Structure 1
Amino acid sequence: MANSTLLQDFETFFSKYQEVWNECNAEKMIKLLSPELAIRWTGPGTAVSDWGYEESKIGWAQAYEQYKGHKPKWHFNQLHITPANDKEVIAMFWLTFEMDGKVADVVKLFVQRFRKEGNDDWKLIREYCESIDPDHFVSNH
């Protein structure tokens, strides 16, 4: 698949991915994860957490249950999307969060790698997330 076709296909998927994230439906979100998923989250401070597919399935279900009834909304500020190879794309974005209409003290930088599997399936295969102190966050976008 040529880079421009891959990117166009990914852009369509990435919009749907953001919608699914905001639907708070763990089953739909889990369908977008690869069984090979590897995740690293950092911060605040020097804390680092690593996990994979099974832990992520549990994490999505717990998070969505925790936010139920509080009208959660995640805001994606896309920084860059680029092909990594013929079947994979890397997306970088800031993520902020609100609950019950109030912006939470949460700012995260995500670098996610997705793989095209089959005709219509994109799966998240890797994720790196860095927590930012909201008091120090400056966005140029």
Structure 2
Amino acid sequence: MDNLFREFLDTYLDAWRSSSLPQLKNFISRDYKAREITNGDIIDFGFEESIQGWEQGFNFAKENSAEWELNEITNIPLRADEILVIISATMSLQGKSLDTAHLFFQTFKKDSYGGWKLIRSYIEAGIPLGNIKRLQLN
């Protein structure tokens, strides 16, 4: 993996873990497109809706003194300038993990300035945590 991408991804994940919306917002392309599946319901959204969703999640984390538990499952180079990263995300409240997690398939693209931006996401929400843990063992 490209060292610059590794540095970018580490900074992106740190922003997520610290619930820093201003920082995370800088990593998302204005042309961002996403699809989330929750209980079989499909929701398509773009940049603005994404920022609203992150804000709600970050506010919940801060108000409940929750900690993000992020696990980078794998990285898959798609093209010379695109990398797909699969991340599982859940929270712990008072030291106890929630029973479910979200599985994020996030595509990052190198922009014309050599930086990276999140351009697409596919999210499976509400997966039982035991299923995610089995995935991490493979």
Band of TM-score, shorter chain: 0.7 to 0.9
**1:135 CA displacement:** 5.0
Q: Give the conservation status (yes or no) of the 8 Å contact 1:38–1:125.
A: yes
**1:24 CA displacement:** 1.1
Aligned partner of 2:80 in structure 1 is 86
Mapping of residues 5-84 of structure 1, within 5 Å: 7-44=2-39, 46-84=40-78
**1:91 CA displacement:** 0.6
**1:21 CA displacement:** 0.2
**1:101 CA displacement:** 2.2
Normalised by the size of structure 1, how large is the TM-score? 0.83
Normalised by the size of structure 2, how large is the TM-score? 0.85
Q: Deviations over 1:39-97 (max 9, x none)?
A: 111122x1111110011112222222222242222222222212211211111122222
Amino acid at match of 2:96: K
**1:136 CA displacement:** 4.4
Superposed CA RMSD: 1.8
Amino acid at match of 1:23: S
The percentage of counterpart residues that share the same residue type is: 27
Judged with a 3 Å threshold, the aligned counterparts in structure 2 of structure 1 residues 89 and 136 are, in CA distance, closer, same or farther, namely closer
Q: Deviations over 1:104-133 (max 9, x none)?
A: 1222221100011213x3110000111312
Aligned partner of 2:117 in structure 1 is 123
Unaligned runs of 5+ in 2: none
Q: Give the conservation status (yes or no) of the 8 Å contact 1:71–1:101.
A: no
Q: Give the conservation status (yes or no) of the 8 Å contact 1:33–1:124.
A: yes
In 1, the alpha carbon distance for the partners of 2:107 and 2:88 equals 15
